[in-house]
Amino acid sequence: MRSDGEVETRTSTNTSRIAHRRAAALNGAATGYVDRRREILQAAAKVFKERGFRGTTISHVAEVMGSDRASLYYYVSSKDELFQEVISEAVNVNLAAAKAIHAEEAPAPEKLRRIVEGLMASYAEYYPVLYVLIQENLNHVAPSRSAWAMQMKQINRQYERVLIEIIQAGQDAGTLRDTAPAWLLAYGIIGMVGWTNRWFDPNKSPVSAQEIGGAFADMLLLGLTADGA
């Protein structure tokens, strides 16, 4: 009869072996491994959107994949890892794109249009990953996820800062109306596009993300662009 200590040791050893195999496969880009892992991340994103982080388990993701939970541990170590990796890539890509637009020599209205259209396009490209982040309250996460949550908040703040600076520059140059503080307009823009999480699904929507982004940009700039700009 095995003692609790023996069972715990065996479990720990098995977990360590799986982690070692996972790291070796990922670092060596084993044939099919990276593709399968991406499929799992995509499936996880959909489950997270439907159930939320707290309501999702590895078993739910395995069910969507038509697999079993044990098989998924060869590709991911935990639900936390799934959630964090699903979101991190998308937010970093968006921040880099916004910074690139900000650095260009172009009038503020043109930059704003590209920001709005690009953000909406990213919601479709990474669907439903970014919507999952919107739905998740980063102020109420488990201690094990606090460092990651802080990193996401910092990226969000950087994105907001880029948008605020673009609007402020436009107001200073007279190409955008000074109807409200730049920060208020920036938050309004982010909220307008983010609200699409309540109704937009690129697989079902009668209009594309590009059309939605263009319509939002038109609506925004008709109200903000200064006369003669």
Find the CATH number of the domain harbouring 208.
1.10.357.10
Distance CA 128, CA 72 (A): 21
User: Does residue 162 lie in a domain region?
Assistant: yes
Query: How many domains does the chain contain in total?
Result: 2
Of the pLDDT bands very low, low, confident and very high (cuts 50, 70, 90), residue 15 is very low
142 with 220, same domain? yes
pLDDT 10s digits, 74-116 = 888 888 888 888 888 889 999 999 999 999 999 999 999 999 9
Q: For the residues 143-151, what does the mean pLDDT come to?
A: 82
* Per-residue pLDDT at 227: 67
Residue that finishes a domain, picked among 51, 72, 93: 72
65 with 99, same domain? no
* Per-residue pLDDT at 140: 67
Q: What is the Rg, in whole angstroms, of the alpha carbon atoms belonging to the chain?
A: 22
- The pTM score is 0.76
Mean pLDDT lowest among 129-143, 170-184, 201-215:
129-143
154 with 189, same domain? yes
Asked if 122 and 90 touch (Cβ cutoff 8 Å), the reply is yes
> Which tokens go with 186?
């920036």
Q: Which residue has the higher pLDDT, 32 or 4?
A: 32
- Of 102, 217, 219, whose CA–CA distance to 170 is shortest? 102
Q: Which residue has the higher pLDDT, 223 or 161?
A: 161
181 with 151, same domain? yes
* Per-residue pLDDT at 72: 87
- Of 106, 104, 87, 11, whose CA–CA distance to 49 is shortest? 87
User: Does residue 17 lie in a domain region?
Assistant: yes
143 with 49, same domain? no
115 with 210, same domain? yes
Of the pLDDT bands very low, low, confident and very high (cuts 50, 70, 90), residue 194 is very high
Q: Which residue has the higher pLDDT, 132 or 4?
A: 132
* Per-residue pLDDT at 41: 86
Which percentage of the chain shows pLDDT scores above 70? 83
Q: Which domain holds residue 68?
A: 4-72
